[in-house]
Structure formats: C-alpha cells, structure tokens
Amino acid sequence: MTRPARITGLADLFGPEARADPYPVYARLRATMPVWQPMTGLLVLSRHHDCAAVLRDPRFGHAEGDELVERRRRRVGAWGGDGDLEPPPVRSFLGLNPPDHTRLRRLVSRSFTPRHVDALRPRIQALTDELLGCIGERETVDIVEVLASPLPVGVISELLGVPPADRDTLVGWSHALAKGLDPAFLVTEAERGAQARARDEFAAYLLALVEERRRSPGRDLLSELVVAQEAARAQPDGRSDEALTMAELIATCILLLIAGHETTTSLIATGVLSLLRHPSQLRRLREDPDLFPGAVEELLRFDAPVQVTMRSALADATCGGVEVPAGTFVLLLLGAANRDPAAHTDPDRLDVGRTPRAHLAFGQGIHFCLGAPLARLEAQIALQTLLARYGEVSLAGDPEWKDTSVLHGVRRLDVSLGR
C-alpha cells in the first residue's frame, strides 16, 4: 500500500503536535487509507463501521501469556522501544478475554448498574455544589483543578473507600500510569521508570488498604471484593466463580481508580472547552436544560477522552475487506470513527441537539465501558450546575493539553466566571 502524502508514519497520529486537534490527521487517513498497514503485524482502522465491527467480533480480543510477551516484544521493538520486556504484570479484566474477563467484570458490575449509579445522584450533586462553593469570589479559575478533576476523583474514591487524605497521591500515580498507554516511541526511559515506581507504590498502598478492609469491612466496593474473596477461600477448593486472586484484586482496583477519574476528568474539562468554543451551542443548553443528557453524548462523540484502543486477532479474520492473520494487532482510532461522515451527518460540527448514541467513546461489545453510566451522570451534573451557577463563563487563556495521546484531554483550562 502507498501511504498518503501527508501521513508519514505513526508519529503523525500520536505526536505532540496532534494532541490538541488530531482530527485533521484522522480525516486525511480515513479518506485516503481507512485500512492502513504501517508495518507488518499492525493494522490501523479509522472508519466507524470497521472499528465497531472489530469491537463486537469475538475473533478479536487481547493476547495473553507467552504469546502476549512475544507480541509486545515485536511491537515495542518496531515502534522504537527496547524490545527486551519482562512478562507483564497481572492485568485487569479490561485486558482479558472470557472466561476471566466475564468472571472479574461480574464481580464489580453491580456497583455500576444504571440503578445503582442513579442512587449516587444526590452525592454527586452535593460534591459538585461543594467544589463550586469553594471557588468563592475568584473570577478566574482552572476548571480542571476546581471541578473536573476533584469531582470524579471524589466519587470513585468514595465508591471504593479510599480516604480523602490519600486522593492526591492516587492522582499522581494515575497520571504516571496513564502515560504508559501511549506507543513506546513516545515514552522516555524516565517515564518508564516513573510508571514502574507508580505501579509498585500503588499496589503496595492497595495491599495495605485491602488488609485494613479485611480486619474492618466497610460499605464500599473494596470491602465487598474482600468479603467475596474471603468467602471463596472458605470453599472446599479454595475458589469459586466469585473469587479473585490478590493480584486480580489489586489490578481491578487500580483499573477502577484510574478509569474512574482520568477519562471523566477529560470529559468534563474538554466538554467545557468545546462549549466555550461554540457559544451558540452553549446558549442552547442554557435555554433548554433538557438537552443536557444528549449534549453529553455529543460531547463524547465530538472529542472523546479515549482516542485509541487496540485489539489482537485471536484467529484469522477480516477487517474492512482486508484479510487479517491471527496475531495481528489492530489499532482502532475511536476519535476518527466518531467523526466519520458515514456515521454522523456533518461530523465536525458540535450540535448539542444531536443524540449520537452510535458513538464509540465507550467502546462496544464485551469491553463496553463499565463506568459509562457514572461518567455520563457526573458530566451532566457538573456541566449543568456550572452553567446554572455562573451566568457568564468564558475562556481566560489557551488550554494546556495532557502529554498523552491515547487518553486525550486538557491538563489546565483557565476560565473567567461571572455571576
């Protein structure tokens, strides 16, 4: 295949210059080479139909065991990394296939059902009111610092039972680990070292918290998981369908704590940014608050917190009309799929009256985002309360973008507030 003239390689997709606005690169790739093979063993998809099909197809999943180590070695070496990798640590259910994925996801899914999440509405509203109340008479604030970050951190920490005093430390570990989702050629040796330290410190902290919950269970999700683990140990064979190993328990908690706030923080912050850059849509929301649920879906489609995900062909398959041998990595550009004109009319236009339920911001298939109902509710309450409290909200400077490419969002967003 011949590469498009302005797509010189993977760096165009993931480099720093594309982080603020990757959509022009996506559009060129989608129009000229929607099924792109930049190197042997790697396929890049950018059309909505192709990405959705892979997400739903059981022939695509996650490589495991020795096969995973070998594939990671080849992929990292090809993308500019060391290539000499240790076996990966135990992964969360997000990176597993059935039956382990099914077993682990079922253990935590009851805490994220729409009914359970809706019961959190009063607490989310109270936290939002408290955070905005702390702004006081300040006229210019960083919306990430005062609302977009502390709200989801507070919600997921309370859900899991993380003490308030530990939450800033948790956020630091989370930021370090989030960088590890990017391609290897974008991660420096110093950042790899920071990731390893953060992972070890995070795990040690959670081990101590697990032991504390084992001695004194509470009414939080971590206590429920510990109780389930203890009940499984009491079975004659020491395990049951409700069992987690200690490594699985720690990996699950790390996933929930990171995914429970990193992406929602980006959704709230980039949602504010998108609305401020489209004042006519902001006015529509002020005039008709009933639009907020659909507007959150449109904001997810328009600038998704997760831009990229990856699958591995577990068997020979096809993608976009191309034969895909087993073992091929498939890179799914969710951000490109969400702006595909074949799926959404006038996709580069923000329209809060649109109800784009077909977007892929939360994925599809068995790995559809477990926390989607919670993220939607937090974003809706945060945005609606912010606009109701302040009659004027405007940009007070250029946004500072995160230094990650897979997880997309602003690190700092200064806004002016008028009452």
- Residue ranges of alpha helices (H) inside 179-188 are none
DSSP state of 331: E
**What's the pTM?**
0.89
- The lowest-confidence range among 126-130, 153-157, 324-328, 355-359 is 355-359
Question: Which two tokens mark 361?
Answer: 């911001």
User: How many CA atoms within 13 Å lie on the side-chain side of 271?
Assistant: 32
**What is the pLDDT, as a whole number, of residue 66?**
46
Which neighbouring-strand residues pair with 395? 415
**What is the pLDDT, as a whole number, of residue 300?**
97
pLDDT category of residue 129 using cuts at 50, 70 and 90: very high
Question: Which two tokens mark 25?
Answer: 């690169």
Residue 1 lies in a domain: no
Helix, strand, or coil here: 308?
strand
Residue 404 lies in a domain: yes
- The lowest-confidence range among 82-96, 267-281, 362-376, 388-402 is 82-96
Tell me the mean pLDDT in the region 347-358.
Answer: 89
Residue 368 lies in a domain: yes
> Which of 154, 114, 104 is CA-nearest to residue 374?
114
Residue 2: phi and psi, rounded to 5, are -90, 130
Q: Does residue 303 register a pLDDT over 80?
A: yes
Q: Does residue 165 register a pLDDT over 90?
A: yes
**What is the pLDDT, as a whole number, of residue 12?**
75
Q: β-strands 140-142, 414-418: how paired?
A: antiparallel
Q: Would you give the end-to-end CA distance of the chain in angstroms?
A: 57
Q: H/E element holding 105?
A: helix 100-109
Which distant-in-sequence residues (6+ apart) come within 8 Å of 123 by Cβ? 155, 158
**What is the pLDDT, as a whole number, of residue 95?**
67
What length does the chain have?
A: 419
Q: Does residue 231 register a pLDDT over 90?
A: no
Residue 104 lies in a domain: yes
Residue 182 lies in a domain: yes
Q: β-strands 329-333, 42-45: how paired?
A: parallel
Q: Give the highest mean pLDDT range of 100-104, 135-139, 192-196, 236-240.
A: 135-139
Amino acid residing at 348: D
Reported as a single tens digit per residue, the pLDDT across 245-268 is 888 888 888 888 888 889 999 999
pLDDT category of residue 91 using cuts at 50, 70 and 90: low
Better-predicted residue by pLDDT, 241 or 312: 312
**What is the pLDDT, as a whole number, of residue 98?**
78
Which distant-in-sequence residues (6+ apart) come within 8 Å of 152 by Cβ? 260, 261, 264, 265, 268, 375, 378
Amino acid residing at 311: R
Residue 395 lies in a domain: yes
Helix 121-133 / helix 150-160 crossing angle, nearest 10 deg: 140
Cis peptide leading into residue 217 (ω within 30°)? no
CA distance 143 to 220: 29
CA distance 32 to 22: 16
Tell me the mean pLDDT in the region 146-158.
Answer: 96
Residue 27 lies in a domain: yes
pLDDT category of residue 342 using cuts at 50, 70 and 90: very high
* pLDDT > 70 in the chain, percent: 86
Which neighbouring-strand residues pair with 418? 392
Which neighbouring-strand residues pair with 317? 324
Which distant-in-sequence residues (6+ apart) come within 8 Å of 21 by Cβ? none
Residue 6: phi and psi, rounded to 5, are -105, 10
In this structure, the number of other CB atoms found within 10 A of the CB of residue 99 comes to 9
For residue 149, give Cα distances in angstroms to 142, 145, 268, 378. 10, 6, 9, 11
Q: Does residue 176 register a pLDDT over 90?
A: no
Q: Give the highest mean pLDDT range of 190-199, 343-352, 365-374.
A: 343-352
* Structural domain total, the chain: 1
pLDDT category of residue 348 using cuts at 50, 70 and 90: very high
Better-predicted residue by pLDDT, 76 or 256: 256
The chain-wide mean pLDDT, for the chain, equals 86
Residues 79, 82, 87, 92, CA torsion sign: negative
Q: Does residue 381 register a pLDDT over 80?
A: yes
- The angle subtended at Cα 171 by Cα 331 and Cα 126, nearest 5°, is 110
**Residue 205 is part of which domain span?**
10-418
**What is the pLDDT, as a whole number, of residue 4?**
43
Residue 19 lies in a domain: yes
Q: For the domain that residue 132 is a member of, what is the CATH number?
A: 1.10.630.10
Q: 163, 258 in Cβ contact below 8 A?
A: no
pLDDT category of residue 146 using cuts at 50, 70 and 90: very high
* pLDDT > 90 in the chain, percent: 58
In this structure, the number of other CB atoms found within 10 A of the CB of residue 137 comes to 6
